[in-house]
Amino acid sequence: PAEPADPFKQGWLKGVYGEKPVQQVQTRFPPEPNGYLHIGHAKAITVNFGFARSYGGLCNLRYDDTNPAKEEEQFFTSIKDMVEWLGFEPARITYSSDDFDRLYELAEELTRRGKASVEENLEDFRAMRAGKYKAGEAHLRMKQYLGTIPEEYEIREEDATEVKKEKVRIRSLADNPALWDVAAYRVKNENYHHRTGDKWRIYPTYEFTHCLVDSFEDISHSLCTVEFETLRPAYNWLLEALNIKLPASDEKGPMQREYGRLNVEGTILSKRRIAMLVGGTTVGAADAAPPDPADEAAEGIGEIRLEEGGDEDTETVSQATTAVTNGTSSGKQIPPVVRAWDDPRLFTLVALRRRGVPPGALKKFVLDLGVTKANSNTAIHTLDACIRTYLERTVPRLMLVLDPIKVTFTNLPDDYLEERDVPFDPKDPSKGTHTIPFTKTIYIDRTDFRDSDDSDFFRLSPGQSVGLLHVEHPISCTSFQKDPATGKVTSIIAEYGSHILSGRARIHWVADSPAYNSPVRAEARIFNPLFRTAKPNELDWKNGGYYDDVNLESEVVYPDTMIESGFEYVSKNAPWPKEEGEARKEGAGHPSCVRFQGVRTAFFALDTDRDVAGRKVVLNRIVSLKEDTGK
Ligand code: ATP
Ligand code: MG
Ligand code: MG
């Protein structure tokens, strides 16, 4: 299926494109390969790839791998997987580190042009490269506007308008801390880079690298989040200093443009915090060595401090350090909260995929929020509502009984069999039908039965009848059995075909019919928010206090779930439109491509776990059918 037609032409960037008629729109998605992508990155990916696609342009996937300490192979692989999962194909896959030589040459060039000073000169810069300094001992700084503005920028009476304008421009640049001689290169203690090995002791900063690599890749629009807006002058400054861009003009070279961050409230997106949830943590342990202050200082220069909802990673480090020195808690072990980075309760993209969220729903979510400069804080239920609407007409419907109770019809013979032709989507005949059996024994959901009649309850109870979906006649309950130990109803005795009271509901069910491979047995996992508070970012992460707020019902497992016989067909041959990006070959593809609506229950997808307790089918609830059904 095609993207919505030119989603970006409707507003954001319409004007931007008009600013400069570029031959070819070229963008890039530039993640640091230091973690798994999260829902916010779905926006970054959609904006960069979607914008390029709208204008018939290209978009690269660029690993911004300038920080050797934090990069791991698994992150590279997963990032690419997620871009492809979202249905985008990078024109090229590039690595900032592939340009380290070229960047270094330009840093020398900048120094020669008098636009950079390592404390002193070129020789010192080369000494940095040669490893004569430790981290934090030396930086190559760009010679920007720190200190006094040169005399020639004093505005004088005789200045003509153009000159005056230029002086005003320069003076305003001088007011921007992003241009106060920021570092271009710093020494790193970690000598091993996954691609360049031990070749480099010095690594370029974000400010030095990003705009230059953009120009190497012929990027026309360098799209980034709004917190980079104050860095735009610095982006242009370096390109101008190297004649890649014309001052105060977009006529030449790449142009930076900003869009608002996407944050989902009620969950945790920070890499460091998710790592604590996945791996557990030791609070105040002796081995939580404080980071090298020199390295941290250098780090700070190249990093952007984000506001609320952004990257708290660095903040957490310093807090952890404080905890150690204060001795507020010592060596307290906090166990893991989730099973992995793709645990469906998380909002990493791998987790959303595993939960069964279709990539198309995420793209739609991003576009529906609108691509503007405003940061959006979205509640989980807003995202869920979007996913629900998306799934409504895109997946088949099946009957699934989450928590079954056996119902036996005393008035039917043992081999009773009715076959029913059931549409996969009652509103869309093109989705086809399948045949289900109706037999002497069926299963209904525990929530559809009450052991005493209640005038407010319109489903099955002793002496009352109820309709069954897809079956002509109603059923009525004559008696039931309870487990005396637990007080739970274990089976229901009923009659088929007794008359129905009008106004009663029709409930879902599955037949007990081995000949039809019904039921298919499954474990169903229902997910709820991971924390009880709506603002988990405000919990006490430093001392492990977050653990006390974990929602014990964040995952509720139904081990005896039953699915009707159409499931086999749905899971193997589903003829429904495949999601762009997850094009499923026969027997291949991610399990979560198998999605369906459990009628009257929820939307489900197949989990990656197999053979849990001998069950082949493990299901994840993607979203409920309505908000807060508690199911
Ligand atoms: P985080 O620290 O939140 O995991 P990051 O900013 O360190 O994310 P990068 O790998 O540097 O992640 O980001 C790659 C691109 O994705 C950048 O252009 C960044 O601006 C963008 N991005 C990151 N988070 C968001 C978000 N929440 N909303 C929109 N874009 C985002
Ligand atoms: Mg980052
Ligand atoms: Mg970050």
DSSP secondary structure of 264-316 = EETS---HHHHHHHHH-EEET-TTSPPPPHHHHHHHHHHSPPP-TTS--HHHH
Token match 């978009």: residue? 59
What pLDDT was estimated at residue 631?
Answer: 45
Whether the CB-CB separation of 629 and 526 falls below 8 Å is answered with no
Residue type, 192: Y
CATH class, domain 266-297+308-392, is mainly alpha
CATH T-level assignment (fold) for domain 406-427+439-514: Ribosomal Protein L25; Chain P (2.40.240)
State whether the beta carbon of 303 lies less than 6 angstroms from ligand 1: no
List 597's β-bridge partners, or say none.
397, 603
Residue among 526, 518, 493, 492 at smallest CA distance from 405: 492
What pLDDT was estimated at residue 316?
Answer: 35
Averaged pLDDT, 208-233 = 96
What pLDDT was estimated at residue 305?
Answer: 35
Q: Are strands 202-204 and 183-187 parallel, antiparallel or unpaired?
A: antiparallel
Residue 597 above 90 pLDDT?
yes
Q: Which two tokens stand for residue 173?
A: 């640049």
> 380-401: per-residue pLDDT in tens?
999 999 999 999 988 999 999 9
pLDDT tier, 72 (very low <50, low <70, confident <90, very high otherwise)? confident
DSSP string covering 26-55: EEEE---SSS--BHHHHHHHHHHHHHHHHT
H/E stretch holding 367 reads: helix 359-369
H/E stretch holding 258 reads: strand 255-259
Ligand 1 nearest-atom number relative to CA 227: 20
Intrachain domains 7-100+203-259 and 116-202 with the same fold: no
pLDDT tier, 416 (very low <50, low <70, confident <90, very high otherwise)? very high
CATH class, domain 520-624, is mainly beta
What's the ipTM? 0.95
Q: Which ranges of 91-197 would DSSP assign to H, the alpha helix?
A: 100-112, 122-129, 161-174
Q: Whose CA is nearest to atom 26 of ligand 1?
A: 40
CATH T-level assignment (fold) for domain 7-100+203-259: Rossmann fold (3.40.50)
Averaged pLDDT, 244-258 = 88
In 404-429, which positions are buried (b, 16+ CB within 10 angstroms) versus exposed (e)? bbebebeebeeeeeeebebbbbeeee
State whether the beta carbon of 306 lies less than 6 angstroms from ligand 1: no
H/E stretch holding 389 reads: helix 380-392
CA distance 625 to 599: 9
pLDDT tier, 131 (very low <50, low <70, confident <90, very high otherwise)? very high
Q: Using only the alpha carbons of the chain, give its radius of gyration.
A: 30
Percent pLDDT > 70 in the chain is 84
Averaged pLDDT, 561-566 = 94
What pLDDT was estimated at residue 551?
Answer: 97
Whether the CB-CB separation of 529 and 554 falls below 8 Å is answered with yes
What pLDDT was estimated at residue 324?
Answer: 34
> 13-45: per-residue pLDDT in tens?
655 555 555 678 899 999 999 889 999 999 999
What pLDDT was estimated at residue 290?
Answer: 46
CA of 310 to the centre of ligand 3 (A): 7
> 286 burial class (0-12, 13-18, 19+ CB within 10 angstroms)?
exposed
Residue type, 394: T
- Other beta carbons less than 10 A from residue 218's beta carbon: 14
CA of 434 to the centre of ligand 1 (A): 45
Q: Whose CA is nearest to atom 3 of ligand 1?
A: 311
Closest-lying ligand to the alpha carbon of 377?
1
DSSP string covering 312-351: -HHHHHHHHHHHHHHTSS-SEEE--SSSSTT-TTS-BHHH
* CA atoms lying within 13 Å on the CB side of residue 451: 11
CA of 272 to the centre of ligand 1 (A): 14
CA distances (Å), 336 to each of 76, 275, 282, 546, 620, in order?
24, 9, 11, 12, 20
- What φ, ψ does residue 62 adopt, rounded to 5°? -115, 120
Residue 370 above 90 pLDDT?
no
Whether the CB-CB separation of 468 and 449 falls below 8 Å is answered with no
Ligand 1 nearest-atom number relative to CA 375: 28
State whether the beta carbon of 43 lies less than 6 angstroms from ligand 1: yes
| Per-domain residue ranges of the chain | 7-100+203-259, 116-202, 266-297+308-392, 406-427+439-514, 520-624
Q: Say which residues have a Cβ less than 8 Å from residue 26's Cβ, sequence separation at least 6.
A: 52, 57, 58, 59, 60, 91, 217, 218, 219, 220, 221
CA of 143 to the centre of ligand 1 (A): 28
What pLDDT was estimated at residue 7?
Answer: 53
What pLDDT was estimated at residue 326?
Answer: 39
Residue 293 above 50 pLDDT?
no
Q: Which two tokens stand for residue 510?
A: 């599955």
CA of 311 to the centre of ligand 3 (A): 5
CATH superfamily of 116-202: Glutamyl-tRNA Synthetase; Domain 3 (3.90.800.10)
